[in-house]
Structure 1
Amino acid sequence: MKKGNQHIMYAPKIIPNVLVAFLSLAAEILFFSKSASDTVTFTWFSLAEEPVSPEWVSCLPHCKGDVDATDPGEFVTRRAEAFGNHEFDNGVEGLLRPFLQKVNFTVLSANIKADATLAPTINGYYQPYTTFTMGSEIVAVVGYTSVETPVLSLPGPHLIFEDEIKALQVQVDKLITLGYNKIIALGHSGFDVDIDIAKRVKGVDLVIGGHTNTFLYTGSVPSSEVPAGPYPFTVRSEDGRDVPVVQAFAFGKYLGYLKLVFDKSGNVLKANGNPILLDSSIAQDPGILADVDEWKKNLAQYSSQYVGKTLVYLNGTFNECRFRECNLGNLICDAMIHHNIKYADEIQWNHVSLCILNSGGIRTGIDESHKNGTITMEEVISVLPFGGTFDLVQLKGSTLKKAFENSVRRYGSSRGEFLQVSGIHVEYDLSRSVGDRVTSLSLRCSQCRVPRYESLDPDRLYKLVLPSYIADGGDGFTMIKEEKLKHDTGDLDISVFANYIKEMKRVYPTVEGRIKFRNSSVAAGANCLTLLLLGLMWALSTSL
């Protein structure tokens, strides 16, 4: 039985329609809008904190009045956005001042609660849900954010991330009591959580998700992505309803387009659509284009600066760097070491010889066939868009061992904590239990005249260079934050990377066997296993 009161007025149609258009990128889902994300917005956030980011996401797109549900080119203005984990990469203060205090739409999360210390500062800048009228239809949208955000980002000690299911159910029950019978869950927790929400939260009609960049499609695929399931992905809820779940990949490549048909009691009778590939056939919005052109003037001279050239493909894809050694990870780590070469004496050839880099910090690759392999600052910023620093820390060997166990604790799920390295040889056995998968860990000596690899000593102190993000505990590396003995802030990541390429002039990094798997079949099959599980969920959902 569908929830809600029956006193909502409808347009003079046999069956009312609601059009949902959204653009899914890495850190946020855009509801009824074209635009922005963790990959794009956070780049602006880092480089031009104000006023570009809030102005940009607030104006997307220019309002075209009442939406025509039959025309995918017609969209109403941006209505709501759910917090993603990367919104907290600069802490709460880094989110409030440049962003939350200036945007003109509602930011959502039902499962983030501020404690008594922070509540007076942040309350009112985000809401658990919002409601609005679309034509004659009343729609409620309730938000959610990954409960893993404190591990993945830096929200600080004063925000509490509650279980998504429990927090959503409280707000959905409230909305039903208030008489709303079209309820959308909008959030950023990953496809598996999206499916769980659709199954377990009673009263939710649609789930729009993100975080895992899941590509769903029905029919002939317009580009190179392989669908993880149909669009929408239909889940049979515990209360007997078919609940559509959608994501629209990442990086602004697709605009999610879903048409829902409800009956007068608010039950979903039909859901169809597909992500729209935003290729050259889609006309650019003149208003947004004018704004972008104006902002680009300030960045054009910087972003077009020549850095160097690559002779090989610099592979920065998620499917490569989050599962195994990748040559772009090697290049960045080598740059981090090179930047910190200071001096040699009779005892040591350098003060630091080790580097670790979380693969989640690598956002794209560089194609040597594009522009004849030319690398400009634009490519450098695209690879490392978060505006962090490459820092020096000192820690015990036992802590470093814990860090490498964290690197593969969730192996196979395309998580960003998988470590790329320099000056380190590591071997994993994924058939072993979590926390006991590192079978060999050898480190390049620094206090030596001829560098060689030595087995890790758990009681010895080691100095290494690493991103500030994981030095501060991001991506689950809390052991580094809590157990580091020294921490020196370094230089901006893009400067370190760019200067290394400039000095080398031409780069051609290889995959060298820095990272190995004792049970190689397990590692090779990780991507296949992920797709197999998604395919199984698809089959189960369609058979129910």
Structure 2
Amino acid sequence: MNKSIVAGMLALALAGCASQQPEQPFTLTVAHINDTHSHFDATDARLELGNQALFTRLGGHPRLQSHAESLRRQAEAADQPLLFVHGGDAWQGTGYFKLNQGAMNADILSRMRLDAMALGNHEFDLDNERLAAFIGGVDFPVLAANLDASRDPHLSGLENLRPYVLYEFDGHDKERLESMDDAGDDPVVAVIGLVLEDMAEISPNLGELIFEREVLAAQRTVRALREQEVKHIVAITHLGLERDQRLAKEVNGIDLIVGGHSHSLLGNFSNLGWDQNEPYAQVFTNQDGRGKTCVVQAGQYAQAMGRVSVTFTPDGRVSQCDGGNTLLSDHAFFRDIRRAEQHRLAGQDAARVAAFIEAQPNIALVEEDPALRAHIDEQYKPALDRAYGEVIGHVPVELKHVRLPGADGQGSRVAPLVAASQLYWANTPAVQAVTGRRADFALVGAGGVRNSLEPGELKEGHVSLELLPFANAMSIVSLTGRQVAGLLLEAINGTLPEGAHTGKFPYSAGLRYEFSETSKGRGYLSRIEHLADGRWQKLDPQAGYQVVMTSYNASGNDGWNTLYTAQQVLTDRLDLAFVDGRLTAFPVARLSKASGGGTQVHYINQPLECNAEGVRCNTDAQAFIDYVRDQRPVLTELTPATVTLNRL
């Protein structure tokens, strides 16, 4: 064939390809939330506004909805593309989830008109059948490119569970595509999802699911999308900030990562008396040295919404990425956390606060969406109010929960109380009559404690629905002193590296230890003692001890692998739950690994089935309720601390 004809045909072909993607720069705006944890109502917050400590409420889903609608109106007026996405962990966190489980989340999130959501680890807290009901019940795609659900009877074949979704934009108008075969001449954005690769260490209810390596699955998915000539790729992830940054550096071709899991409120909030965190919208160079990836995340508990704008060059590379997180505040401010009417700001004081907030770039006064507020109040809130039950005590000052002690050595004020409650409860005559044992000490994983305790009344529901919402059975297991020390070393060293999952950090009662960091992220136990006969004694490596903890941690979850190893062949562990109102012990024979990587508990006689009729497993919450009611009706922190962490 004549070379000029070939050249002409090639030019026409290239012109045709070019016509499919406009040559002018393309700018995409993404509104995003993550780790909302069923905080459908606003959460209490302390702010410092103009050197004045004030108390208000932040966020909640009606306020998120109102702000999202405002961003949509702005984008529509400017004829600009907009996506609204969720970075995972919509589940757990409040009594709403305890009462309604995934059904309320599906209802409320669908009303918010999300474009996509990543699967978080807490979406696996129930079982795959109820997760499937949630995924099938929402009207937006749920994404996880590194999840293989093909062998799971509940999640395989779910149309709404996808590795990625495609959106084509004509200005503000967008259309969801089934494939690039349906694309026209307008820009197409692919949104992919990524879930934690080590989910088996976190969740025990994974069925036949397989979780692939995050980096490998991401690169494979990006490569497939590039082969389809998709130029713009957004990843919504539930990996944590450090892994998002690693992903940005090691994977070629992701333009924007919208993250979750580490609850990172990126940006400088020191103007409000909060922390100065890592910058919002950091840009990282890909492994190939050419591509750029922007990384964002938006805090926790539906308090804030992020808004990032990414501008692309005509060939699809990121040329600019900027934006920020905005805390969404109620209009009412109080001088005292008790929020009595006499504490409320009014007149000129209220006007000054409003003017101060108006001048800040990272907080806004936002009214709740009235329709969503009314729907929650009518359909869900009455049952929540009934479920909170009786007052069991009072908290005179805030007890703050932090997972990992900071550089100042200050750790959680709540987790030691939880540990103390478990030790107390295990040694009450009623429990000892069932177990025939006396517990020596208690260990608590920081991630099992879900929130701080605010001043005021403490009701049963504050414990069972918020503080300890996972309905874990209490366990008593025999361990040697050597195994206890190994567990502490494993758990502490696992939490120290930058960006590590700190939920595994161990707090204690009846046991105290000092850990000294010797190099970045590593260290040794310089002291470990237990309380016996009223005095502290050195832990004997050869001696056996009765240790009380939740069944979740006792099975080696959350990185407490020493416990799995100790019980792999044989164990004398007892799990404790109520059956028809009667406390019952369930002896455990051994542990094994299921095919999906989770831990399987083998009981000697009748298995403990927490979902069975008449079975109530939340003895962890019951222990705390009994402890406060019987021993600490005025709940203050325990001193001195049993955990000492010396950081470099």
TM-score tier after normalising by the smaller chain length: 0.7 to 0.9
1:38 aligned residue (89, 111, 123): 89
| Corresponding residue of 2:479 | 395
Separation of aligned partners in 2, 1:434 and 1:14:
47
| Corresponding residue of 1:52 | 104
| Corresponding residue of 2:554 | 471
Unpaired stretches in structure 2, ≥5 consecutive residues: 1-15, 39-63, 65-81, 174-185, 331-364, 578-616
Separation of aligned partners in 1, 2:375 and 2:238:
28
Separation of aligned partners in 1, 2:422 and 2:384:
25
**How do residues 170-319 of structure 1 correspond to structure 2 at under 5 angstroms?**
170-217=220-267, 223-239=272-288, 240-280=290-330, 281-293=365-377, 294-303=379-388, 305-318=390-403
**How do residues 2-81 of structure 1 correspond to structure 2 at under 5 angstroms?**
6-8=18-20, 15-25=25-35, 32-33=83-84, 38=89, 41=92, 43=94, 44-49=96-101, 51-59=103-111, 61=112, 77-81=113-117
CA deviations on 1:370-404 (whole Å, 9 max, x unpaired) are xxx32234543332233333333333333322221
Cα deviation, residue 319, structure 1: 5.3
Separation of aligned partners in 2, 1:436 and 1:263:
47
Separation of aligned partners in 1, 2:317 and 2:229:
14
Separation of aligned partners in 1, 2:129 and 2:480:
32
Which secondary structure does the structure 1 equivalent of 2:261 belong to? coil
| Aligned Cα root-mean-square deviation (Å) | 3.3
Cα deviation, residue 24, structure 1: 2.0
Distance 1:123 1:374, change over 3 A: same
Q: Does 1:104 align with 2:231?
A: no
1:124 aligned residue (153, 157, 160): 157
Distance 1:308 1:39, change over 3 A: farther
Cα deviation, residue 507, structure 1: 1.7
Cα deviation, residue 120, structure 1: 4.7
Which secondary structure does the structure 1 equivalent of 2:329 belong to? coil
Separation of aligned partners in 2, 1:5 and 1:147:
37
Q: Does 1:153 align with 2:239?
A: no
Identity %: 24
CA deviations on 1:123-178 (whole Å, 9 max, x unpaired) are 23322211123425421111112223222222547433222111101111111111
Distance 1:6 1:26, change over 3 A: farther
**How do residues 369-448 of structure 1 correspond to structure 2 at under 5 angstroms?**
373-377=456-460, 379-380=462-463, 381-412=465-496, 413=498, 415-431=502-518, 437-445=524-532
Separation of aligned partners in 2, 1:489 and 1:297:
31
Greater CA drift, 276-285 or 224-233: 224-233
| Corresponding residue of 1:87 | 123
Distance 1:407 1:511, change over 3 A: farther
CA deviations on 1:335-394 (whole Å, 9 max, x unpaired) are 11222223399xx997113111001122221233xxxx3223454333223333333333
CA deviations on 1:254-312 (whole Å, 9 max, x unpaired) are 10111222344323332221112111211212232122212011111223642311234
Separation of aligned partners in 2, 1:92 and 1:442:
42
| Corresponding residue of 1:166 | 216
Q: Give the partner amino acid of 2:394.
A: K
Separation of aligned partners in 1, 2:249 and 2:398:
42
Separation of aligned partners in 2, 1:207 and 1:338:
46
Q: Does 1:457 align with 2:543?
A: no
Q: Does the 8 Å CA contact 2:99/2:384 hold for their aligned counterparts?
A: no
Unpaired stretches in structure 1, ≥5 consecutive residues: 62-76, 526-544
Separation of aligned partners in 1, 2:87 and 2:144:
18
Structure of larger gyration radius: 2
Cα deviation, residue 242, structure 1: 3.0
Q: Does the 8 Å CA contact 1:406/1:417 hold for their aligned counterparts?
A: no
